[in-house]
Amino acid sequence: MSGDSLEEALTRRTQNAPPELLSRTFFFVCAALSIATTIGLIVLLTTEAAKFFSFSAPLVGVTGETASVVEFLTGTVWEPTEGNFGVLSLVSATLMIMIGSSLIALPLGVGTAIYLSEYASPRLRSILKPGLEILAGIPTVVYGFFAIIYITPALQPFVPGLGTFNILSACIVVGIMIIPMVASISEDAMSAVPEALRQAGYGMGATKFEVSTGIVVPASLSGIFSSFILALSRAIGETMAVTIAAGSTAQFLNVVNPAAYTERALPMTAAMVKLVGGDVTGGGISYRSVFAIGITLFVITLVMNVISDIVAQRYREEY
């Protein structure tokens, strides 16, 4: 009897082998393609950026000079047609949008996550969460036009001298865009907190608010912080919305000066769009500066994700 059972098991395993091998091969190819795509992008950025920094032809309007890493990283003037490639003016605008959008998205996103996780009924949560995530599916170009048509006119009575294109509107619209990411990931982290911790808090006489803010939020801190970094990475890499809302004037601004947020500026992603969409010569130094901006943006995002992993590992709670 046991011999028959063993023979039947071996037969079934042999019959299931081809589909299992096929599925394993398919998933391996998917993983390999993902890794190959990432490596290909890194190689492209590195090689083209290296050509930009070692470009032998003189820059337009500046005789005998070539682009250097020091000039690129420390310069505050971005005028490719005049041979000025100071990326700090672009970085300052990008950082301002990241800071402004985080001040909007992070508290609203965490507050939304707390409500969905701790206060909303299961039926209401099943309606609100998908509705919130619809915001993530709206094309970013629509957000850009929403900023200049609705947000900026609404702000102009309260902010004197606010122009059509400004960083403030870009911060608000990008903040709205990344709220679903913060709220969704944070809510998942809070929902994973064991119910026993909540009941222990209630047993000690804590209110729902005290349990939510004093037990659930600290217990899910690693997931919340990861949502912050992912959302900020999205804000840094946003293209069309900031291209439309912030304008196209590159200038070095004081990141901590509130008055600077009323100015128009040129973030890094918008500068890349402007260069590629303009009359730059393919293979020329202005064209290759796109890749120099791209690798700078890549390094900033990479550093943020590494910090996110370190903090997540530091505050990770296992139950």
The DSSP code for 258 is G
Which residue in 151, 179, 175 sits closest to 164, CA to CA?
151
Domain ranges of the chain: 3-51, 74-315
Between CA 169 and CA 104 the distance in angstroms is 12
pTM over 0.85? The answer is no
Q: Where are the alpha helices (DSSP H) in the chain?
A: 2-53, 69-74, 88-114, 122-133, 140-146, 152-155, 167-191, 195-203, 208-211, 217-219, 221-237, 240-245, 268-277, 285-315
What's the token pair of residue 156?
């102009």
Q: Is 84 helix (H, G, I), strand (E, B) or coil?
A: strand
CA–CA gap between residue 281 and residue 235 (Å, rounded): 29
pLDDT of the residue at 13: 56
Q: What is the pLDDT of residue 103?
A: 92
Q: Tokens 């050509």 correspond to what residue? A: 51
Residues 94 and 251: their CA atoms lie apart, in Å, by 12
- From residue 213, give the alpha-carbon distance in Å to each of 180, 238, 312: 20, 31, 19
Place of tokens 């260069």: 275
Q: How much is the pLDDT for 57?
A: 42
User: How far apart (Å, rounded) are the C-alpha atoms in residues 290 and 106?
Assistant: 30
- Type of residue numbered 287: Y
pLDDT mean values, one per 10 residues, the chain (319 residues): 54 60 84 91 86 56 55 84 83 91 91 90 85 82 89 88 87 91 89 87 87 88 86 84 84 86 88 74 74 89 83 69
pLDDT on residue 108: 93
In this structure, are residues 217 and 234 in contact, taking their beta carbons and an 8 Å threshold?
no
- DSSP sequence for 166-213: -HHHHHHHHHHHHHHHHHHHHHHHHHTS-HHHHHHHHHTT--HHHHII
Q: What's the confidence (pLDDT) of residue 304?
A: 84
Q: Would you state the pLDDT for residue 112?
A: 92
The hierarchical CATH code for the domain 74-315 is 1.10.3720.10
CA distance 144 to 39: 32
CB 93 within 8 A of CB 246: yes
